[in-house]
A and B are shown apart, each in its own frame.
Chain A
Amino acid sequence: MSGGAPCWQDILPGTVTLGESSRVVETGLWRSLRPILDVEKCVSCLKCWVQCPDMSIQTGEGGAVQGIDMFFCKGCGICAAVCPTGAISIRPESDFQDEADASSGGASPGKVGELVGQL
Protein backbone atom coordinates (compact mmCIF):
# COMPACT_ATOMS: atom_id res chain seq x y z
CA MET A 1 0.00 0.00 0.00
CA SER A 2 1.24 3.48 -0.81
CA GLY A 3 0.08 5.61 2.11
CA GLY A 4 -3.48 6.69 2.85
CA ALA A 5 -6.23 4.52 4.29
CA PRO A 6 -5.52 0.79 4.83
CA CYS A 7 -6.73 -1.56 2.13
CA TRP A 8 -8.28 -5.01 2.51
CA GLN A 9 -4.83 -6.55 1.97
CA ASP A 10 -3.69 -4.87 5.16
CA ILE A 11 -6.29 -6.55 7.37
CA LEU A 12 -4.84 -9.44 9.35
CA PRO A 13 -6.36 -12.79 8.40
CA GLY A 14 -8.17 -14.91 10.96
CA THR A 15 -10.17 -12.30 12.81
CA VAL A 16 -12.83 -13.30 15.32
CA THR A 17 -16.04 -11.39 15.81
CA LEU A 18 -17.49 -11.97 19.22
CA GLY A 19 -21.05 -13.16 19.69
CA GLU A 20 -23.64 -10.44 20.23
CA SER A 21 -20.90 -7.80 19.80
CA SER A 22 -23.36 -5.67 17.82
CA ARG A 23 -24.85 -4.72 21.20
CA VAL A 24 -22.31 -1.89 21.36
CA VAL A 25 -23.74 -0.35 18.20
CA GLU A 26 -26.10 2.51 18.98
CA THR A 27 -28.73 2.00 16.30
CA GLY A 28 -30.83 4.53 18.22
CA LEU A 29 -28.78 7.19 16.45
CA TRP A 30 -30.81 6.49 13.31
CA ARG A 31 -34.05 7.50 14.94
CA SER A 32 -36.09 10.37 13.55
CA LEU A 33 -39.21 9.53 15.57
CA ARG A 34 -39.27 8.59 19.24
CA PRO A 35 -41.77 6.33 21.00
CA ILE A 36 -42.82 7.54 24.45
CA LEU A 37 -44.27 5.00 26.86
CA ASP A 38 -46.96 6.00 29.32
CA VAL A 39 -46.62 3.34 32.02
CA GLU A 40 -49.97 4.40 33.53
CA LYS A 41 -51.79 3.28 30.40
CA CYS A 42 -49.70 0.16 29.74
CA VAL A 43 -51.27 -3.17 30.69
CA SER A 44 -48.12 -5.21 29.85
CA CYS A 45 -49.92 -7.21 27.17
CA LEU A 46 -46.52 -7.50 25.42
CA LYS A 47 -47.89 -6.93 21.93
CA CYS A 48 -45.22 -4.27 21.42
CA TRP A 49 -42.50 -6.47 22.91
CA VAL A 50 -43.17 -9.34 20.54
CA GLN A 51 -43.41 -7.18 17.40
CA CYS A 52 -40.44 -4.85 17.97
CA PRO A 53 -37.81 -5.59 15.27
CA ASP A 54 -35.06 -4.21 17.50
CA MET A 55 -35.75 -5.90 20.85
CA SER A 56 -36.10 -2.48 22.42
CA ILE A 57 -39.08 -2.98 24.71
CA GLN A 58 -37.64 -3.57 28.17
CA THR A 59 -39.37 -6.04 30.45
CA GLY A 60 -38.85 -7.05 34.05
CA GLU A 61 -40.18 -9.64 36.46
CA GLY A 62 -43.17 -11.56 35.04
CA GLY A 63 -42.95 -9.77 31.69
CA ALA A 64 -43.92 -6.34 33.03
CA VAL A 65 -43.06 -3.66 30.47
CA GLN A 66 -40.65 -1.17 32.02
CA GLY A 67 -39.51 1.12 29.28
CA ILE A 68 -38.03 1.48 25.83
CA ASP A 69 -34.33 1.15 25.17
CA MET A 70 -33.37 4.32 23.32
CA PHE A 71 -29.89 2.97 22.63
CA PHE A 72 -31.31 0.47 20.11
CA CYS A 73 -34.81 1.74 19.21
CA LYS A 74 -34.87 2.91 15.58
CA GLY A 75 -38.21 4.69 15.90
CA CYS A 76 -40.17 2.57 13.43
CA GLY A 77 -43.42 3.15 15.35
CA ILE A 78 -44.64 -0.46 15.19
CA CYS A 79 -44.99 -0.61 18.98
CA ALA A 80 -47.33 2.38 19.00
CA ALA A 81 -49.32 0.96 16.08
CA VAL A 82 -49.96 -2.40 17.78
CA CYS A 83 -50.59 -1.10 21.32
CA PRO A 84 -54.26 -1.70 22.18
CA THR A 85 -54.37 0.91 24.94
CA GLY A 86 -52.61 3.82 23.25
CA ALA A 87 -49.83 3.70 25.83
CA ILE A 88 -47.12 4.57 23.29
CA SER A 89 -47.09 7.89 21.46
CA ILE A 90 -44.68 8.94 18.73
CA ARG A 91 -42.89 12.28 18.76
CA PRO A 92 -40.35 13.73 16.32
CA GLU A 93 -36.79 13.33 17.54
CA SER A 94 -36.22 17.04 16.94
CA ASP A 95 -38.32 17.68 20.07
CA PHE A 96 -35.42 16.19 22.02
CA GLN A 97 -32.52 17.95 20.34
CA ASP A 98 -31.14 19.53 23.54
CA GLU A 99 -30.97 16.17 25.21
CA ALA A 100 -29.10 14.66 22.26
CA ASP A 101 -26.51 17.45 22.27
CA ALA A 102 -25.89 17.01 25.99
CA SER A 103 -25.40 13.26 25.89
CA SER A 104 -23.18 12.66 22.88
CA GLY A 105 -20.74 10.77 25.10
CA GLY A 106 -22.59 7.50 24.37
CA ALA A 107 -21.37 4.74 22.11
CA SER A 108 -21.36 5.50 18.42
CA PRO A 109 -20.91 3.14 15.48
CA GLY A 110 -17.55 4.73 14.70
CA LYS A 111 -15.77 3.77 17.89
CA VAL A 112 -14.92 0.26 16.80
CA GLY A 113 -11.73 -0.79 18.56
CA GLU A 114 -12.48 0.90 21.84
CA LEU A 115 -15.88 -0.68 22.17
CA VAL A 116 -14.95 -4.19 21.09
CA GLY A 117 -12.19 -4.02 23.68
CA GLN A 118 -14.78 -3.48 26.40
CA LEU A 119 -16.76 -6.64 25.62
Chain B
Amino acid sequence: MGVVNVRELTGKSNPLAEGHRMCPGCGAPTALRQAFMGMDSPVVVVGATGCLEVSTTVYPYSSWRAPFLHVAFENAGAAVSGVVAAHRAMSRKKLFREEIKFVAFGGDGGTYDIGFQSLSGALERGHDFTYICYNNQGYMNTGAQRSGATPRSANTTTSPAGILAPGKLQRAKNLTEIAAAHNIPYVAQTTLHDPLDLIRKVRRAVETPGPAFVNILVPCALFWKINPADQVKICRLAADSKFWPIYEVVNGERVVSYTPKKPVPVEDFLRAQGRYAHLFAGGGVRRDLIDQAQADVDAEWENLTQNRRSS
Protein backbone atom coordinates (compact mmCIF):
# COMPACT_ATOMS: atom_id res chain seq x y z
CA MET B 1 0.00 0.00 0.00
CA GLY B 2 2.96 2.30 0.61
CA VAL B 3 3.47 5.19 2.94
CA VAL B 4 1.47 8.33 2.24
CA ASN B 5 3.77 11.29 1.64
CA VAL B 6 1.73 14.47 1.80
CA ARG B 7 4.60 16.54 0.39
CA GLU B 8 4.51 14.55 -2.83
CA LEU B 9 0.75 14.92 -3.04
CA THR B 10 0.90 18.72 -3.28
CA GLY B 11 2.12 18.50 -6.88
CA LYS B 12 -0.82 16.35 -8.02
CA SER B 13 -3.98 17.67 -9.62
CA ASN B 14 -7.15 16.74 -7.72
CA PRO B 15 -10.42 15.75 -9.44
CA LEU B 16 -12.25 18.19 -7.14
CA ALA B 17 -11.53 21.79 -8.15
CA GLU B 18 -11.70 25.13 -6.38
CA GLY B 19 -14.76 27.35 -6.54
CA HIS B 20 -17.26 24.79 -5.25
CA ARG B 21 -20.10 26.29 -3.23
CA MET B 22 -19.96 24.15 -0.09
CA CYS B 23 -20.30 26.13 3.16
CA PRO B 24 -17.15 27.53 4.78
CA GLY B 25 -15.60 24.82 6.92
CA CYS B 26 -17.72 21.97 5.56
CA GLY B 27 -16.20 18.53 6.06
CA ALA B 28 -17.52 16.97 2.84
CA PRO B 29 -15.20 18.60 0.28
CA THR B 30 -12.26 17.93 2.60
CA ALA B 31 -13.20 14.25 2.80
CA LEU B 32 -13.53 13.83 -0.97
CA ARG B 33 -10.46 15.91 -1.69
CA GLN B 34 -8.37 13.80 0.69
CA ALA B 35 -9.93 10.63 -0.74
CA PHE B 36 -8.81 11.52 -4.26
CA MET B 37 -5.28 12.36 -3.05
CA GLY B 38 -4.54 8.68 -2.63
CA MET B 39 -5.50 7.63 -6.15
CA ASP B 40 -3.01 7.31 -8.95
CA SER B 41 -5.19 6.15 -11.84
CA PRO B 42 -7.66 8.35 -13.70
CA VAL B 43 -11.02 8.28 -11.99
CA VAL B 44 -14.65 8.50 -13.04
CA VAL B 45 -16.87 10.01 -10.36
CA VAL B 46 -20.57 9.33 -9.82
CA GLY B 47 -22.46 11.43 -7.29
CA ALA B 48 -25.80 10.92 -5.58
CA THR B 49 -27.91 14.03 -5.04
CA GLY B 50 -26.74 15.85 -1.95
CA CYS B 51 -24.85 18.89 -0.71
CA LEU B 52 -21.65 17.99 -2.49
CA GLU B 53 -23.35 17.12 -5.75
CA VAL B 54 -25.38 20.33 -5.98
CA SER B 55 -22.56 22.57 -4.76
CA THR B 56 -20.03 21.22 -7.25
CA THR B 57 -22.37 21.41 -10.24
CA VAL B 58 -24.09 24.77 -9.92
CA TYR B 59 -25.14 25.60 -13.48
CA PRO B 60 -23.25 26.57 -15.62
CA TYR B 61 -20.19 25.60 -13.61
CA SER B 62 -18.58 22.34 -12.71
CA SER B 63 -16.00 21.74 -9.99
CA TRP B 64 -14.95 18.41 -11.51
CA ARG B 65 -11.75 17.77 -13.40
CA ALA B 66 -12.75 14.12 -13.79
CA PRO B 67 -15.69 12.75 -15.80
CA PHE B 68 -18.67 13.18 -13.50
CA LEU B 69 -22.08 11.54 -13.63
CA HIS B 70 -25.11 12.40 -11.57
CA VAL B 71 -28.45 10.73 -12.19
CA ALA B 72 -30.66 11.06 -9.14
CA PHE B 73 -30.78 10.78 -5.39
CA GLU B 74 -31.53 7.09 -5.15
CA ASN B 75 -29.30 5.52 -7.73
CA ALA B 76 -25.60 6.37 -7.46
CA GLY B 77 -25.03 2.65 -6.86
CA ALA B 78 -26.91 1.67 -10.00
CA ALA B 79 -25.34 4.46 -12.06
CA VAL B 80 -21.79 3.49 -11.11
CA SER B 81 -22.61 -0.18 -11.80
CA GLY B 82 -23.57 0.76 -15.36
CA VAL B 83 -20.45 2.83 -15.87
CA VAL B 84 -18.22 0.02 -14.60
CA ALA B 85 -20.01 -2.53 -16.81
CA ALA B 86 -19.73 -0.26 -19.86
CA HIS B 87 -16.03 0.21 -19.25
CA ARG B 88 -15.56 -3.56 -19.00
CA ALA B 89 -17.44 -4.17 -22.21
CA MET B 90 -15.47 -1.51 -24.06
CA SER B 91 -12.20 -2.81 -22.66
CA ARG B 92 -13.09 -6.28 -23.94
CA LYS B 93 -13.53 -4.77 -27.40
CA LYS B 94 -10.15 -3.09 -26.95
CA LEU B 95 -11.69 0.36 -27.10
CA PHE B 96 -10.05 1.14 -23.78
CA ARG B 97 -6.62 0.15 -22.56
CA GLU B 98 -6.22 2.52 -19.67
CA GLU B 99 -6.83 1.45 -16.11
CA ILE B 100 -9.62 3.56 -14.69
CA LYS B 101 -10.98 3.67 -11.15
CA PHE B 102 -14.63 4.27 -10.36
CA VAL B 103 -15.78 6.17 -7.33
CA ALA B 104 -19.36 6.86 -6.31
CA PHE B 105 -20.17 9.18 -3.45
CA GLY B 106 -23.24 10.20 -1.55
CA GLY B 107 -24.16 11.90 1.68
CA ASP B 108 -25.83 9.86 4.38
CA GLY B 109 -29.27 10.68 2.95
CA GLY B 110 -28.27 9.34 -0.46
CA THR B 111 -26.47 6.36 1.05
CA TYR B 112 -28.13 5.17 4.28
CA ASP B 113 -31.68 5.93 3.16
CA ILE B 114 -32.67 6.96 -0.34
CA GLY B 115 -29.84 5.31 -2.26
CA PHE B 116 -29.62 2.23 -0.10
CA GLN B 117 -31.32 -0.27 -2.41
CA SER B 118 -29.16 0.61 -5.40
CA LEU B 119 -26.01 0.59 -3.26
CA SER B 120 -26.90 -2.78 -1.77
CA GLY B 121 -27.48 -4.19 -5.25
CA ALA B 122 -24.18 -2.85 -6.54
CA LEU B 123 -22.28 -4.30 -3.58
CA GLU B 124 -24.02 -7.65 -3.99
CA ARG B 125 -23.32 -7.85 -7.73
CA GLY B 126 -19.66 -7.23 -7.00
CA HIS B 127 -18.78 -4.43 -9.43
CA ASP B 128 -15.25 -3.10 -9.08
CA PHE B 129 -15.84 0.33 -7.57
CA THR B 130 -15.45 2.30 -4.37
CA TYR B 131 -18.39 3.94 -2.66
CA ILE B 132 -17.63 6.86 -0.36
CA CYS B 133 -20.28 8.06 2.03
CA TYR B 134 -19.61 11.53 3.43
CA ASN B 135 -21.76 11.17 6.47
CA ASN B 136 -22.86 14.36 8.21
CA GLN B 137 -25.71 12.55 9.93
CA GLY B 138 -28.66 14.33 8.43
CA TYR B 139 -30.30 15.87 5.36
CA MET B 140 -28.28 19.05 5.69
CA ASN B 141 -28.78 20.30 2.12
CA THR B 142 -32.50 20.71 2.75
CA GLY B 143 -32.25 22.12 6.27
CA ALA B 144 -31.23 19.39 8.73
CA GLN B 145 -33.94 16.78 8.63
CA ARG B 146 -33.21 13.52 10.48
CA SER B 147 -31.80 10.62 8.48
CA GLY B 148 -31.07 6.98 9.25
CA ALA B 149 -27.58 8.16 10.14
CA THR B 150 -28.65 10.78 12.68
CA PRO B 151 -27.58 9.63 16.15
CA ARG B 152 -29.89 9.33 19.10
CA SER B 153 -30.65 12.63 20.89
CA ALA B 154 -29.46 14.87 18.05
CA ASN B 155 -31.68 17.88 17.48
CA THR B 156 -32.90 18.11 13.87
CA THR B 157 -35.83 19.91 12.27
CA THR B 158 -37.82 16.65 12.03
CA SER B 159 -36.69 15.31 15.40
CA PRO B 160 -36.73 18.58 17.31
CA ALA B 161 -35.63 18.78 20.91
CA GLY B 162 -38.46 20.19 23.00
CA ILE B 163 -40.87 19.38 25.77
CA LEU B 164 -42.13 16.18 24.17
CA ALA B 165 -38.89 14.65 22.93
CA PRO B 166 -35.16 15.18 23.49
CA GLY B 167 -34.18 15.12 19.81
CA LYS B 168 -34.08 11.92 17.78
CA LEU B 169 -35.35 8.91 19.72
CA GLN B 170 -33.82 6.14 17.63
CA ARG B 171 -30.24 4.98 17.22
CA ALA B 172 -28.45 5.54 13.93
CA LYS B 173 -28.30 2.45 11.78
CA ASN B 174 -24.82 1.02 11.43
CA LEU B 175 -24.30 1.17 7.68
CA THR B 176 -20.62 0.24 7.86
CA GLU B 177 -21.62 -3.10 9.35
CA ILE B 178 -24.52 -3.46 6.92
CA ALA B 179 -22.07 -2.94 4.03
CA ALA B 180 -19.73 -5.52 5.59
CA ALA B 181 -22.65 -7.97 5.78
CA HIS B 182 -22.64 -8.00 1.97
CA ASN B 183 -19.37 -9.94 2.32
CA ILE B 184 -17.47 -7.49 0.16
CA PRO B 185 -13.67 -7.48 0.35
CA TYR B 186 -13.12 -4.06 1.90
CA VAL B 187 -15.11 -1.81 4.20
CA ALA B 188 -13.69 1.06 6.24
CA GLN B 189 -14.82 3.80 8.55
CA THR B 190 -12.94 6.98 9.35
CA THR B 191 -13.29 10.73 9.88
CA LEU B 192 -11.16 13.84 9.39
CA HIS B 193 -9.11 13.31 12.58
CA ASP B 194 -6.14 12.03 10.58
CA PRO B 195 -5.81 12.72 6.83
CA LEU B 196 -3.24 9.96 6.43
CA ASP B 197 -5.72 7.38 7.73
CA LEU B 198 -8.38 8.58 5.29
CA ILE B 199 -6.01 8.73 2.31
CA ARG B 200 -4.61 5.27 3.07
CA LYS B 201 -8.06 3.70 3.47
CA VAL B 202 -9.44 5.11 0.24
CA ARG B 203 -6.29 4.08 -1.61
CA ARG B 204 -6.73 0.58 -0.27
CA ALA B 205 -10.42 0.64 -1.22
CA VAL B 206 -9.76 1.60 -4.85
CA GLU B 207 -6.90 -0.87 -5.17
CA THR B 208 -9.01 -3.73 -3.84
CA PRO B 209 -10.64 -5.60 -6.72
CA GLY B 210 -14.42 -5.70 -6.29
CA PRO B 211 -16.66 -3.38 -4.34
CA ALA B 212 -15.41 -1.34 -1.40
CA PHE B 213 -17.28 0.94 0.96
CA VAL B 214 -15.80 3.80 3.00
CA ASN B 215 -17.92 5.64 5.54
CA ILE B 216 -16.45 9.03 6.48
CA LEU B 217 -17.94 11.04 9.34
CA VAL B 218 -17.83 14.73 8.37
CA PRO B 219 -19.08 17.60 10.50
CA CYS B 220 -21.72 19.97 9.14
CA ALA B 221 -20.80 23.21 10.89
CA LEU B 222 -24.23 24.71 10.28
CA PHE B 223 -26.40 21.94 11.71
CA TRP B 224 -24.04 20.33 14.19
CA LYS B 225 -23.92 23.91 15.42
CA ILE B 226 -20.17 24.14 15.78
CA ASN B 227 -17.61 26.78 14.91
CA PRO B 228 -16.36 25.81 11.41
CA ALA B 229 -12.77 26.23 12.61
CA ASP B 230 -13.35 23.40 15.12
CA GLN B 231 -13.99 20.79 12.44
CA VAL B 232 -10.84 18.77 13.02
CA LYS B 233 -11.18 19.06 16.82
CA ILE B 234 -14.73 17.64 16.65
CA CYS B 235 -13.50 14.77 14.46
CA ARG B 236 -10.75 13.99 16.97
CA LEU B 237 -13.37 13.94 19.74
CA ALA B 238 -15.46 11.53 17.65
CA ALA B 239 -12.47 9.21 17.30
CA ASP B 240 -11.12 9.61 20.84
CA SER B 241 -14.53 9.04 22.45
CA LYS B 242 -15.06 5.96 20.19
CA PHE B 243 -18.34 7.54 19.15
CA TRP B 244 -17.06 6.88 15.62
CA PRO B 245 -14.70 3.91 15.77
CA ILE B 246 -11.86 4.11 13.27
CA TYR B 247 -11.60 0.65 11.73
CA GLU B 248 -11.69 -1.44 8.62
CA VAL B 249 -13.22 -4.79 7.71
CA VAL B 250 -10.80 -6.67 5.47
CA ASN B 251 -12.29 -9.85 4.03
CA GLY B 252 -14.61 -10.10 7.01
CA GLU B 253 -11.95 -9.37 9.67
CA ARG B 254 -12.49 -6.27 11.75
CA VAL B 255 -9.26 -4.37 12.34
CA VAL B 256 -9.22 -1.33 14.61
CA SER B 257 -6.96 1.23 12.96
CA TYR B 258 -6.96 3.77 15.77
CA THR B 259 -7.15 3.04 19.46
CA PRO B 260 -7.25 6.31 21.38
CA LYS B 261 -4.29 6.67 23.73
CA LYS B 262 -6.33 8.94 25.94
CA PRO B 263 -9.97 7.94 25.47
CA VAL B 264 -12.47 10.66 26.36
CA PRO B 265 -16.07 10.17 27.52
CA VAL B 266 -18.65 10.49 24.76
CA GLU B 267 -20.07 13.37 26.82
CA ASP B 268 -17.12 15.50 25.63
CA PHE B 269 -18.08 14.87 22.01
CA LEU B 270 -21.75 15.68 22.66
CA ARG B 271 -21.05 18.76 24.74
CA ALA B 272 -18.93 20.30 21.98
CA GLN B 273 -21.90 20.55 19.59
CA GLY B 274 -24.99 22.72 19.61
CA ARG B 275 -27.16 19.91 18.23
CA TYR B 276 -26.92 18.30 21.68
CA ALA B 277 -27.24 21.54 23.67
CA HIS B 278 -30.62 20.44 25.07
CA LEU B 279 -28.89 17.59 26.93
CA PHE B 280 -26.94 20.14 28.94
CA ALA B 281 -29.32 23.08 29.03
CA GLY B 282 -30.64 25.00 32.00
CA GLY B 283 -29.19 22.88 34.79
CA GLY B 284 -31.34 19.93 33.74
CA VAL B 285 -28.54 17.74 32.44
CA ARG B 286 -30.00 14.64 30.78
CA ARG B 287 -27.66 12.22 32.51
CA ASP B 288 -29.84 9.29 31.40
CA LEU B 289 -29.35 10.07 27.69
CA ILE B 290 -25.65 10.80 28.07
CA ASP B 291 -25.20 7.47 29.88
CA GLN B 292 -27.24 5.77 27.17
CA ALA B 293 -24.94 7.24 24.50
CA GLN B 294 -21.91 6.01 26.43
CA ALA B 295 -23.43 2.53 26.82
CA ASP B 296 -24.12 2.36 23.07
CA VAL B 297 -20.54 3.37 22.30
CA ASP B 298 -19.06 0.88 24.77
CA ALA B 299 -21.16 -1.99 23.45
CA GLU B 300 -20.18 -1.24 19.87
CA TRP B 301 -16.49 -0.99 20.73
CA GLU B 302 -16.69 -4.32 22.57
CA ASN B 303 -18.23 -5.98 19.52
CA LEU B 304 -15.64 -4.43 17.26
CA THR B 305 -12.62 -5.54 19.25
CA GLN B 306 -14.09 -9.05 19.48
CA ASN B 307 -14.56 -9.02 15.68
CA ARG B 308 -18.29 -9.45 16.16
CA ARG B 309 -20.83 -7.88 13.94
CA SER B 310 -22.10 -4.74 15.61
CA SER B 311 -25.78 -4.16 16.19
Binding site for B on A (CB under 8 A): 15, 17-27, 30-31, 46, 49-56, 59, 62-63, 69, 72, 74-78, 80-82, 90, 112, 116
Contact = CB atoms under 8 A, between A and B. Distances in A.
A69 B212 CA distance: 35
B29 to A, nearest CB: 5
Interface stretch (B58-66, B139-147, B267-275): B58-66
A42 to B, nearest CB: 14
A98 to B, nearest CB: 23
Interface stretch (B10-18, B76-84, B115-123): B10-18
A22 B18 contact: yes
Contacts of A31: 24
Interface of B: 6-11, 14, 16-30, 33-34, 37, 56-66, 192, 195, 221, 227-233
Contacts of B227: 77
B232 A22 contact: no
Contact of A53 (B7, B19, B29, B66): B29
B232 A82 contact: yes
A17 B63 CA distance: 10
Given A46-B10, A50-B195, A22 B25 contact: no
Contacts of B229: 76-78, 80-81, 90
Given A23-B18, A23-B19, A30-B24, A51 B232 contact: yes
Contact of B30 (A24, A51, A74): A51
Contacts of A53: 22, 24-30, 33
A22 B228 contact: no
Contacts of B228: 76-78
A54 B18 contact: yes
Given A20-B63, A27-B21, A72-B19, A78 B6 contact: no
Contacts of A22: 17-21, 56, 58, 61-63
Contacts of A69: 18
A54 B6 contact: no
A18 B62 contact: yes
Contacts of B231: 51, 76, 78, 81
A107 B20 CA distance: 15
B58 A50 contact: no
Nearest to B58: A22
